[in-house]
Amino acid sequence: MENKVQEILEKQVLTVVKAVEDKIDDEIAALDRLDTDDIEVLRERRLQQMKKMAEKRSRWIALGHGDYSEIPSEKDFFTVVKASDRVVCHFYRENWPCKVMDKHLSILSKQHIETRFVKINAEKSPFLSEKLKIVVLPTLALIKNTKVDDYVVGFDELGGTDGFSTDELEERLAKSKVIFFEGESSHNSSKSTRRSVRQSTNPDSSDSE
């Protein structure tokens, strides 16, 4: 009986190996069939892709992407939102929890140039705060194509304390697709040494207006 099982397992392994070898052979054959013209077409296509990405990056930088800046007035909020496809807007007040959020957003703004990262003083923006139902601070409004698509309210989704890592916030933003994310931290922070602004013993990490 054992010999029969072993024989079946060996046949299955051989089948898998053969399938992998066939796939590799097909890919090698496809490369071999490429002539000079094909290679030139591929090179030109790649160059065009790189050119488009460079143009996008230049446009993003011109709009203020790559930096974490403050919106001076409510009117400017609408200008920012209309100019960029993806915006993370931090509604803040002058307190510790909001300063913690500032530090993480400052890091992410440089890593995710595809998204505009800004903040606005909620107390000086009564119209926006009421319109967007901002109650707890800090609150992140996650905006896509001029519409508020999601919110990160306080630190509840980030472990409930101000000791959360930049990775954790990055993953939360990626969940709402307001940043591009490939599954690993874009700022090369190891999971075992996750970056946090401060390890807090205070469980009351968010602030309400």
Whether the per-residue pLDDT at 13 is higher than 70: the answer is no
CA atoms of 60 and 56, how far apart (whole Å): 6
**Number of residues in the chain:** 209
In tens, the pLDDT along 142-195 reads 999 999 999 999 999 999 999 999 999 999 999 999 999 755 444 444 343 343
| Residue 11, pLDDT score | 65
What is the rounded distance in angstroms from the CA atom of residue 32 to the CA atom of residue 34? Answer: 5
Where do the domains of the chain lie? 7-52, 65-176
Residue 77 has pLDDT above 80, yes or no: yes
**Domain 65-176 belongs in CATH node 3.40.1500.10:** no
| CB contact at 8 A, 118 and 68 | yes
pLDDT at 42 over 50: yes
Q: What is the average pLDDT across 68-87?
A: 96
- pLDDT > 80? residue 114: yes
Is pTM beyond 0.85 here? no
